[in-house]
A and B are shown apart, each in its own frame.
Chain A
Amino acid sequence: MITVEGINKTFGDNHVLHDITTTFEKGKVNLIIGQSGQGKSVLTKCVVGLHDPDTGSVIYNGRNFTEMDRKEKVSVRKEIGMLFQGSALFDSMTVEDNVMFPLTMFTNMTKKEKLDRVNFCLDRVNLNETNALFPAECSGGMQKRIAIARAISMKPKYLFCDEPNSGLDPKTAIIIDNLIREITYEYDITTVVITHDMNSVIEIGDTILFIHNGRNWWEGDRTSIIKTDNPEILDFVYASDFMKEIRASMRASRS
């Protein structure tokens, strides 16, 4: 479980995050949703320590991450897997070396053990013939899946995914969503997913945090988000006029 307490973050004059407090629960897929530029990525980067928040703290299972020195932070980071918005695969390395990199860096496994683990992770994301390819030779969806394989190779306790299915076709997006959900339940880890995609929200949102104007605007789960009357959420969920009409007519027929 990760607890976020009162995080503020500014860049120059731009006050991006206002006093965000929330929790991300273990064994669940915790979603962060909101419109573009509202601070979702910045919040996630504050949580994993890529940005230092101005005030507030992040607590990983009782350990106050914000107050740790570099060495202690590194020990927590070894429990974190992260999928970046742009995959962030190392483009000078093959797929196999990408997934193997954390193992080589942080374990004393033999070559064979590492290779077994790599193949297991690649198999987990349904990519078992790609070991020798370079990231540039893989499609966007494959790159995302390779990045997931790399993120889980060290058996993380915390998994962060920044828009895992943006830019993918709906079918591949669902495959990746399912993968993230399965991994979360299978290994009982704390997963945090940023998304714009309403399909994902309905499919995998165990808990949902809606960020608006850099604030924790609304929290709930996938059933409550359908029922809420919060105008900003309605605007986000039923973004097009067409969808708004559908909602209005459904309401009308019910009453």
Chain B
Amino acid sequence: MKKNTLNLAVVLIILRNIGKYMIMLRIVFSRPEKWSVFRVRLFEEIQRIGINSIPIVGVMSVFMGGVIALQTASNMDSPLLPEYTIGFITRSSTILEFSPTIMSLILAGKVGSNVASEIGTMKTTEQIDALEIMGVNSLTHLVLPKILGSVFFFPVLIIFSIGLSLVGGWLSLVMSGLASTETYILGIRSWFEFGDIVYALTKGVVFAFLIVSIASFYGYYSKGGAIDVGKSATKAVVTSSIAILIANFFLTQMILL
């Protein structure tokens, strides 16, 4: 009996937060006060969220591509499987899962904590109140450029990540002598479906939206001091990671099946 009421309380809290999140989104998507200011803000966020993520995405992609290719090669003992299968499998796992999903999970850590703590600090130091007092819609001013910037730039990051991951796979295979350049490229080009790229980019757009909006939510509604901002950042990363995994499941059902 007691356990049931506890479960109910948790469900109610989750539902209330989802409601609050929806209300926040409605305010975020209002008309910006001034387009010239908005344009500057948008490029600022593309720089901060997108361009600044290029190094980590690059390094991760090269190494993960290398590992995927090596593991595929080392698991293929059967002489019945042609060597170009390595390239094919590396490409498929990169496009379908690694670049869109794993990369987004990593960016949920980097971008999510960054956005939540930035907005949370602005909240606790009354900078958000200062914006509101001037008559600025703080959610639109702060959050909308972040969401649009990341939704626009995540696909770019994913394409970049797919490319580098394939390069990583090639490097590792050639350096270890497990496959030749020709068969690897042959594998990469086999049974190529353009739909897979659309699937990957769609995931990127959805995940970008989830990461930034959820992180903004936790930042914006944090109260108290520095400790609370830290907690908000943690919640933002955990919640957006879970949201990514759930969304991944449903998107895969919807698009691939």
Contact = CB atoms under 8 A, between A and B. Distances in A.
B126 A80 contact: no
B37 A85 contact: no
Given A77-B135, A80-B133, A86 B126 contact: yes
Contact of B127 (A48, A77, A82, A90): A90
Contacts of B34: 104-106
A50 B126 CA distance: 11
A84 B122 CA distance: 13
Contact of B135 (A78, A85, A88, A91): A78
A104 B38 CA distance: 11
B134 interface: yes
23 contacts: A48-B133, A50-B132, A74-B135, A74-B137, A75-B135, A77-B132, A77-B134, A78-B134, A82-B133, A84-B126, A84-B129, A85-B126, A86-B125, A88-B125, A88-B130, A91-B125, A104-B34, A105-B33, A105-B34, A105-B134, A105-B136, A106-B33, A106-B134
A102 interface: yes
B71 to A, nearest CB: 43
Interface in A39-83: 45, 48, 50, 74-75, 77-78, 80-82
Interface residues of B, number: 14
Interface of A: 45, 48, 50, 74-75, 77-78, 80-82, 84-86, 88-91, 101-102, 104-106, 154
Contacts, number: 49
Nearest to B30: A70
B133 A91 contact: no
A69 B34 CA distance: 20
A84 B130 contact: yes
Contacts of B130: 82, 84, 88-90
Contacts of A105: 33-34, 37, 134, 136
Interface centre among A78, A88, A104, A106 (most CB of B within 10 A): A88
A154 B133 CA distance: 12
Contacts of A104: 34, 37
A48 B134 CA distance: 10
Given A86-B126, A88-B125, A91-B127, A50 B133 contact: yes
Nearest to B124: A86
A80 B136 CA distance: 12
Contacts of B127: 88-91
B134 to A, nearest CB: 5
B223 to A, nearest CB: 11
Contacts of B136: 105
